[in-house]
Amino acid sequence: MKNETLLPDLTNVVTALRQQQVIAYPTEAVFGLGCDPDSESAVQALLKLKQRPWQKGLILVAAHYAQLTDYIDDSALDNAARERMFACWPGPVTWVVPARPTTPRWLTGQYASLAVRVSAFEPVRRLCLAFGKPLVSTSANLTGLPPARTAGEVREQLGAAFPVLDQAVEGRRNPSEIRDALSGELIRQG
């Protein structure tokens, strides 16, 4: 893809995010569906599209740790937990961290924690920086279908007009590893 097409594409998806729409964007392994984590209506639209129960909770992806501190309880992390997290970040490891009491239930689901990741993948970082905050991140696919690995597959499943950051995924085979920040315990193999 030519570099001159990247800026308008990024501008279009950021505009869609600010209009509380759900967008698709490339991640380390598959395309993700994302939206403004502070918009209950956007998150509800994403959950409806995915047919995902709210109780499962969601992942937030960010360009840097500071984008996550409004959502997670940093004071609940000891030095060992922070060192574990920062040793893997930025990178394809998602950590489950205690949530702030003010973090919306539409993000945490039935849990008192929130799954968060600081990505090293440049398209994700640029998108979060341009939007000015983290994004909800879940695989871009309809229930029962495989996660989309290309913008074309996103459009096949979600429609030609669906807002997509049309760039390639990084190429990892598996979605991000998920670990508990307090214990370091593996929750999902990456």
Q: Which two tokens stand for residue 1?
A: 């893809």
Q: What is the DSSP letter of 173?
A: S
Please provide the DSSP assignment of 102-164 as one string: TS-HHHHTTSSEEEEEE---HHHHHHHHHHTS-EEEEES--TTSPPP-SHHHHHHHH-TTS-B
* Digit-coded pLDDT (tens) for 71-124: 999 999 999 999 999 999 999 999 999 999 999 999 999 999 999 999 999 999
Q: Tell me, which fold does domain 22-170 have in CATH?
A: DHBP synthase (3.90.870)
pTM listed for this prediction: 0.92
With contact defined as beta carbons under 8 Å apart, do 137 and 34 qualify? yes
Distance CA 31, CA 155 (A): 11
Domain map of the chain by residue range?
22-170
* Digit-coded pLDDT (tens) for 72-87: 999 999 999 999 999 9
Distance CA 151, CA 136 (A): 18
* Digit-coded pLDDT (tens) for 127-152: 999 999 999 999 999 888 999 999 99
Is the pLDDT reported for residue 61 higher than 50?
Answer: yes
CA neighbor of 33 nearest in space, from 140, 133, 174: 140
